[in-house]
Amino acid sequence: MIRFLLHACCAPCGIAVIDELKSQYDLTVFFYNNNIYPEEEYLKRKKYVVQICDEWLIPMIDFDYNQTDWREAVQGLENEPEGGARCSKCFRLRLETTARYAKENNFDIFCTTLTSGRNKKAEVINPIGVEVGLKYGVMFFETDWKKAGRQQKARKMVEERGIYRQNYCGCRFSHNNLII
Ligand code: SF4
């Protein structure tokens, strides 16, 4: 069976994607989101990804939470608007780390749940995934998880399980803005 590494940013973005992929692939979830601030928020988001993986017996890699790496990656872009250059760097760091881990651990394909977010543009995220996939020699699964009714499905699944839904993207600079 094809080994698939799925970077998951949070449970609301991941739940319908994981549900869809788990029967088609040998799926592993990769939690690497050192953009999230503060740490209590990071732990809260992680807790619900763990809950989903436990429910469906999906292996989950709990990768590191090195905020210094993230701050260095976005240095000089602190005042960028959400959706701008800082976000592209943030996507790249998380996708590149996922691609590298996939290569080092013999996965065939990797992907991210990031395109599930209603304000996350697949046309920005997917080319980064393809580029880092080529760099490490692992295929990036290009898609837009917002499509095909997955957002509605995810909303229902989140409500049924009482899963926490955050009201900001994740980093300290997005803390007071309501975009996901
Ligand atoms: S707003 Fe979201 S995507 Fe953009 S830098 Fe912050 S955490 Fe990353």
**Over the stretch 116-164, which tens digit does the pLDDT of each residue have?**
998 899 999 999 999 999 999 999 999 999 999 999 999 999 999 999 9
Q: Pick the closest to residue 61 from 50, 51, 70 (CA basis).
A: 50
Alpha-carbon gap, residue 168 to 121, rounded angstroms: 16
Give the pLDDT mean for 1-28.
Answer: 98
Q: What's the gap between Cα 47 and its chain centre? A: 14
Query: How many angstroms separate the alpha carbon of residue 68 from the centre of ligand 1?
Result: 15
Nearest-CA residue for atom 3 of ligand 1: 87
What is the model's pTM? 0.96
Look at residue 180 and tell me whether its pLDDT is greater than 80. no
Query: With a 6 A CB cut-off, is 41 part of the ligand 1 pocket?
Result: no
Alpha-carbon gap, residue 36 to 108, rounded angstroms: 28
Query: With a 6 A CB cut-off, is 89 part of the ligand 1 pocket?
Result: no
What was the pLDDT predicted at 175? 81
Q: Contact, 49 vs 11, CB < 8 A?
A: yes
What was the pLDDT predicted at 176? 67
Q: What angle do CA 115, 116, 119 make, to 5 degrees?
A: 75
Determine the atom of ligand 1 nearest the C-alpha atom of 120: 3
Which residue ranges form the domains of the chain, and what is each CATH number? 3-174 (3.40.50.620)
Nearest-CA residue for atom 2 of ligand 1: 169
Mapping DSSP to helix (H, G, I), strand (E, B) and coil, where does residue 7 land? strand
